[in-house]
Amino acid sequence: MNKIEPRTLSGFMELLPLDQLKFNKLYDAIKSTYEQFGFLPLDTPIIEASEVLLAKAGGETEKQVYQISRGDSDLTLRFDLTVPLAKYVAKNYGFLQFPFKRYQIGKVYRGERAQKGRFREFYQCDIDIVGDGELSILNDAEIPYIIYTLFKNINIGAFVIKINNRKLLNGLFAYLNLQDKSVDIMRIIDKINKIGISNVKEELSNLGVIEEDIQKIISFVDIKGSNKEIINILKNLAYMDNETYKEGIEELNQVVTYAYDFGMNDDYLMIDLHISRGLDYYTGTVYETFLKDYPELGSICSGGRYENLAEYYTDRKLPGVGISIGLTRLFDKLLDLDILKEEKISVSDMLIIPMTDNYEYIIKVYNNLVKQNKRLQIFYDKRSIKSMINYATKLNIPRVIFIGDDEVNNNTITIKKLDSFEQKTIKLDEIAKEL
């Protein structure tokens, strides 16, 4: 028979089992932290009607989506978890409690050019808090606190959540009479760490911003200091007296102050006036998160405050604040960087190695351990002891249990720890105590 090459598409992550265990550990930590903070799970379909999913989408998104034609239906694979959330809240409004706190961890699809570290199928891990008409600014402080708690709990090294408020930038643009260019300007200054200051200046100039205003924008976003120092400087920019700007300062100040109450400090939460997020979607607080030792990864967790989640589906005003971890890309990098390499995770705590055909006894032992909720397995196929121990070693299983005729006759088992080679034989009724 002609064989088909068993290949996996490029841009699609498919892990070996022990790496998958590491991935799942990270996944579970994210999930349980999100739940600890009261977020309800959602699991929306991966396929939606194109008109629903692309209600808002612009040119770039449309080019990247995976579309399916089946009969006369026009279907699209979701490209993020925010649009499905908007649809869900609009659709189920009457059945939800507000503020509606939901998390969703799921795969999304973007047909980007495949390259190292870029994925076409990847997990996003989102939390959002959606209000009905209004939503307290305290939620904007809660979001970084959750990410802080999560990233402290998992072992990914030093990190910092950078924070800004788009009202500050919009206030600045209003002062400079550049409101009509604000989205474009934000998109350009957002790239400052990627493309450098001279390129940013050039792009702003190409956009028609005059030299004097470029200088003002650059020196504004470059304001440095501790969070409290920055807020003081911002407050003292006397010429900036429009309402948007004042709201921005007030909100940023509140978020930082509450974040301190939550136990965070400037090492973990840092005002950075460059941060604006590319999307025009955000209207207030914005977040990006960086690993301090690996800034080249870019932001591993981003989000912000928005005015109106679901305006394409409903007239109800649904403001919210949320953040998203790009898990697939983050995990891929953590593997690359050896941060996860040392970790030994196993799905089983022990492997029973039969050295007799008395399976009645072997199964009795197994059954006994299963009932105690032990995680274990029996190696059923006939192999050499060496190759069975090798199986355990390769799968990081820390202990093997030998059962031979001696053990059957004496009602015992022999336990061997594979790291220390320590071995002992115990009575069956001592199992619960011993293991």
Residues 276-305 that bind its own copies (CB under 8 A): none
Single out the residue of 92, 179, 409, 425 in contact with its own copies (rule: CB under 8 A). Answer: 92
Q: Which stretch binds its own copies (CB under 8 A): 211-219, 243-251, 298-306, 365-373?
A: 365-373
Sign of the CA dihedral with 31 first, then 162, 114, and 79 last = positive
Partners of 76 in the beta sheet? 48, 67
Least distance to its own copies, CB of residue 393, Å? 9
Query: Is the Cβ of residue 40 or residue 158 nearer to its own copies in the bound state?
Result: 40
Residue 269 near its own copies by CB under 8 A: no
Edge-to-edge strands, sheet with 269-271: 40-41, 100-109, 121-130, 320-326, 301-306, 282-291, 159-165, 269-271
Single out the residue of 61, 283, 314, 356 in contact with its own copies (rule: CB under 8 A). Answer: 314
Single out the residue of 217, 218, 364, 419 in contact with its own copies (rule: CB under 8 A). Answer: 364
Instruction: Report residue 12 CA to chain centroid gap.
Output: 17
Binding-site string for its own copies from residue 324 to residue 353, where x marks contact by CB under 8 A and - marks none: -----------------------xx--x--
Query: Is the Cβ of residue 240 or residue 388 nearer to its own copies in the bound state?
Result: 388
CA 434 – CA 261 distance, rounded (Å): 45
CB proximity list for 389: less than 8 A, separation 6 or greater: 353, 400, 418
Least distance to its own copies, CB of residue 361, Å? 9
Single out the residue of 79, 121, 274, 299 in contact with its own copies (rule: CB under 8 A). Answer: 121
Single out the residue of 78, 87, 110, 399 in contact with its own copies (rule: CB under 8 A). Answer: 87
Residue 46 near its own copies by CB under 8 A: yes
Partners of 77 in the beta sheet? 47
Query: Is the Cβ of residue 17 or residue 194 nearer to its own copies in the bound state?
Result: 17
Nearest to 25 by CA among 160, 161, 156: 156
- What six digits make up the tokens of 98? 């507000």
CA 187 – CA 108 distance, rounded (Å): 23
The burial of 81, by beta-carbon neighbours within 10 Å (0-12 exposed, 13-18 middle, 19 or more buried), is given as: buried
Least distance to its own copies, CB of residue 56, Å? 9
Place of tokens 């939390």: 127
Residue 274 near its own copies by CB under 8 A: no
Site for its own copies in 387-416 (CB under 8 A): 391, 394-395
Partners of 320 in the beta sheet? 130, 306
Single out the residue of 29, 49, 174, 418 in contact with its own copies (rule: CB under 8 A). Answer: 49
Residue 149 near its own copies by CB under 8 A: yes
